A and B are shown apart, each in its own frame.
Chain A
Amino acid sequence: MSAPVKLLYFAWLRARIGQVEEEVPLPPQVRDVAGLLEWLRGRGPRYAEALRDLSVIRVAVNQDYVGAEHPVRAGDEIAIFPPVTGG
Chain B
Amino acid sequence: MVDYATTERVIARPRARAREASILRNLDWALLLAVAALVGYGLWAIAGITKHDQSNPNYYVTRQAVYALIGVVGMVAFIFLEPAFWRRHAKVVYGLVIAVLVVAPVFGAEVRHTRRWIDIGPFRFQPSEFGKLLLVLFLAAFLAERGKRIAERQTTLAATGFALLPIMLVFLQPDFGTAIVYAAVLGATLFVAGTRWWHLAALVGGVAFAGAFVLWLGPAMSVDVLKPYQRARITGFTNPSQDPGGSTYNINESITAVGAGGVNGRGPNGATQTAYNYLPEHATDFAFASLSEQRGFVGATILLLLYLFVIWRAIKVITLARDAFAAIAAAGIAFALLIQIFINVGMTVGMAPITGIPLPFVSVGGSSMVANLLAIGVLQSICLRRR
A and B, one complex?
Answer: no
A residues engaging B (CB < 8 A)? none
B residues engaging A (CB < 8 A)? none
